[in-house]
Amino acid sequence: MTASVTIAAKPDLAGKRLAFALAEDRVGHYPEFRAFFAKSFDLDRIGLAEPGFVTAPSGLAYAFVFIGRSGEPFPAGVEIYAVVDALEPVEETTLDADLWAVLGWMIDGVGAPWTRDDLEATGRLYRIPAAAKAAGG
């Protein structure tokens, strides 16, 4: 899994739509992920004002919409959306490969005790096609 994910500026959204890709509504279960998101997307300054954006290996942009919940540290959750042409479907294999790369980027950014080896082992266990392709299988 060597494909890179990079933080990106807000793309031009004219003629685009946000296609739902993934949600995690309990970021607080693992505070190290909350800290990673806050640092990566400058959430202490931006908060709920704007999504964060990354560019995935396919070249597609993805929007990270952070969710706040009363009584919980921010962000409490995250929803990830692919930024695609308004009338075009999301290509499933591209989405899966990009999300797998995003998960690897997150694991690398969070660091120990989280490891890419553990992520890849989990991917093999659950027979995730994008995980097998990323591992060369």
User: Per-residue pLDDT tens for 67-89?
Assistant: 999 998 899 999 999 999 998 88
How far apart, in Å, are the Cα atoms of 8 and each of 70, 87, 89, 119, 133? 29, 23, 22, 24, 25
Nearest to 121 by CA among 106, 137, 109, 105: 137
Predicted local distance difference test score (pLDDT) of residue 137? 55
Domain limits, the chain: 6-134
pTM of the model: 0.89
Q: How far apart are CA 18 and CA 135, in angstroms?
A: 29
* Residues lower than pLDDT 70 in the chain: 1-3, 134-137
Predicted local distance difference test score (pLDDT) of residue 136? 62
Q: How far apart are CA 53 and CA 56, in angstroms?
A: 10
Predicted local distance difference test score (pLDDT) of residue 1? 44
